[in-house]
């Protein structure tokens, strides 16, 4: 099996019948050298990790504290230095030079775009909440209370929340910016990376300068809601994101198969334009082991997109998109991730590397 939490590989289809999910979570335990002492699949939340602050380490002390919760039970009682040595070995083993080079190239790729692309609507590149958001959404965020969130939301199936989020003007500007970027790509024949392996069209917003604004969007607007509704998957510790726009239509991506996202929490907002079809379908949340199990009747939801309206759900909530049968549909996606919950993501975040197992 190969695994890569990088963005280009991130969105994973839920395979139909093998009972095996190629997605991220069950990866670290497959290391051959520790077969007898496998890391845990889930963290031991009752274990209080050592304090690794103040040591000369190549990686964040918090990474070691988080990873310690995944250690095999017999190792937990070992001295701190032994655990540290073991965990450092794991981290270094899965940070091969090839990955470092890949990440360095991605950094250069992004720099190249940013130094040549001229943004059309500069007001999008910094957060202007009162210009971006619907007043009802802004009010609920400012109050920061569960009842306030619930008052603006529908929850048509457990764990899928929908609410009016963006002003029409924001949607128009963002669409126009994406089209301007696509035009630049076409004119300069720049070879861009698409958002993930399942979408052949669309653009990564973080790659052309919107990373800071989207980071703010996640921290100040999505994390407070996720803290209330998705605390079980690290909703209160979301600390990185992957932001992109997807494009659907007859001459674009038409539909999206059944899959789970490489995120703790996914924000999906329709930006327009005119289209028919393209419903999102949801079929319940599953752990890695049971990702292909049958759907219960109360887990079935088919949702029709409304421009400006957001859908917020756990990344592991199984879903897909039906065919967009006419017109063009653009959606903003923000995959929100928690490095605290997934130490291997934190490695990626801290050192700009990804793991690759075989
Ligand atoms: Fe998805």
* Ligand 1 centroid to residue 10 C-alpha, Å: 10
Q: Could you tell me the residue ranges of all domains in the chain? A: 99-351
CA 338, distance to chain mean position in Å, is 9
Question: What is the predicted pLDDT for the residue at 114?
Answer: 94
CATH 2.60.120.620 fits 99-351, yes or no: yes
Cα 289 from Cα 164, distance rounded (Å): 34
Chain centroid to CA 2: how far? 19
DSSP 3-state assignment of 242?
strand
Question: Which pLDDT score is estimated for 285?
Answer: 92
This prediction has a pTM of 0.73
Per-residue pLDDT, 74: 83
213 CA distance to ligand 1 centroid (A)?
Answer: 22
CA 351 – ligand 1 centroid, Å: 26
DSSP states along 154-200: EEEETTEEEEE-B-HHHHHHHHHHHHHHHHHHHHHT--PPPSBTTBS
Q: Which two tokens stand for residue 354?
A: 């990804």
Tokens standing for residue 220: 């100040």
Q: What element of type H or E holds 260?
A: strand 256-260
Helix (H, G, I), strand (E, B) or coil at 278: coil
Are the CB atoms for 257 and 198 separated by under 8 Å?
A: yes
What is the whole-number distance in angstroms between the Cα of residue 6 and the centre of ligand 1? 15
Q: Residue 282 and residue 301: Cα distance in Å, rounded?
A: 5
What CA–CA distance (Å, rounded) separates 260 from 13?
Answer: 6
Residue 227 CA, ligand 1 centroid: distance in Å: 21
Tens-binned pLDDT, residue by residue, of the chain (358 aa): 222 223 333 454 443 322 222 232 222 223 333 334 577 877 888 999 999 988 877 777 888 888 899 888 888 889 998 899 888 877 776 666 656 677 788 889 999 999 999 999 999 999 999 999 999 999 999 999 999 999 999 999 999 999 999 999 999 999 999 999 999 999 999 988 898 878 888 999 999 999 999 999 999 999 999 999 999 999 999 999 999 999 999 888 898 888 888 899 999 999 989 999 999 999 999 877 788 888 999 999 999 999 999 999 999 999 999 999 999 999 999 999 997 666 555 554 443 222 222 2
Task: Give 11 Cα–ligand 1 centroid separation in angstroms.
Answer: 7
Ligand 1 centroid to 212 CA: how many Å?
22
Task: Please tell me the distance from the alpha carbon of residue 313 to that of residue 304, in angstroms, as a whole number.
Answer: 15
Long-range contacts of 215-222 (CB under 8 A, 24+ apart): 215/241, 216/127, 217/127, 217/243, 217/334, 218/334, 218/336, 220/127, 220/129, 220/141, 221/129, 221/133, 221/137, 221/141, 222/265, 222/267, 222/312, 222/334, 222/336
Beta bridge partners of 164: 309
Instruction: State the distance from the centre of ligand 1 to the C-alpha of 106, rounded, in angstroms.
Output: 23
The count of other CB atoms within 10 Å of the CB of residue 276 is 12
- Helices 61-68 & 80-93, crossing angle to 10 degrees? 100
Residue 280 Cα to ligand 1 middle (Å): 9
Query: What SS3 class is residue 353?
Result: coil
Contact between 295 and 217 under an 8 Å Cβ cutoff? The reply is no
């Amino acid at each position: 099996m190969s695994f890569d939490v990088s963005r280009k590989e991130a969105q994973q289809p839920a395979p139909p019948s093998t009972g095996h999910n190629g997605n991220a979570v069950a990866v670290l335990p497959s290391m051959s050298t520790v077969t007898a002492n496998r890391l845990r699949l889930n963290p031991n939340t009752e274990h209080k990790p050592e304090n690794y602050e103040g040591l000369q380490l190549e990686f964040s002390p918090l990474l070691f504290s988080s990873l310690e919760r995944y250690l095999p039970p017999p190792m937990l009682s070992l001295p701190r230095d032994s655990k540290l040595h073991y965990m450092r070995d794991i981290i270094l083993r899965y940070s091969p030079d090839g990955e470092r080079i890949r990440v360095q190239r991605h950094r250069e790729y992004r720099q190249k775009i940013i130094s040549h692309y001229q943004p059309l609507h500069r007001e999008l590149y910094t957060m202007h909440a009162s210009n971006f958001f619907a007043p009802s959404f802004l009010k609920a965020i400012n109050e920061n209370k569960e009842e306030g969130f619930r008052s603006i939301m529908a929850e048509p199936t457990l764990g899928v929340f929908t609410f009016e989020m963006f002003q029409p003007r924001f949607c128009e500007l963002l669409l126009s910016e994406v089209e301007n970027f696509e035009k630049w790509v076409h004119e300069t024949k720049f070879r861009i990376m698409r958002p993930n392996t399942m979408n052949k069209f669309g653009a990564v917003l973080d790659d052309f300068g919107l990373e800071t604004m989207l980071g703010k969007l996640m921290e100040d607007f999505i994390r407070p809601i996720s803290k209330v509704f998705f605390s079980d998957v690290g909703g209160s510790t979301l600390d990185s994101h992957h932001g992109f726009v997807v494009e659907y239509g007859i001459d674009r991506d038409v539909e999206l198969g059944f899959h789970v996202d490489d995120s703790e929490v996914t924000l999906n907002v329709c930006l327009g334009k005119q289209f028919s079809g393209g419903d999102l379908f949801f079929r319940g949340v599953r752990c890695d082991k049971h990702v292909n199990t049958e759907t219960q009747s109360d887990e079935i939801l088919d949702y029709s997109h409304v421009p400006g309206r957001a859908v917020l759900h756990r990344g592991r909530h199984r879903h897909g998109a039906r065919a967009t049968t006419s017109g063009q549909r653009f959606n903003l996606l923000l995959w929100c991730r928690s490095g605290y919950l997934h130490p291997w993501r934190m490695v990626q975040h801290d050192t700009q590397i990804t793991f690759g197992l075989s």
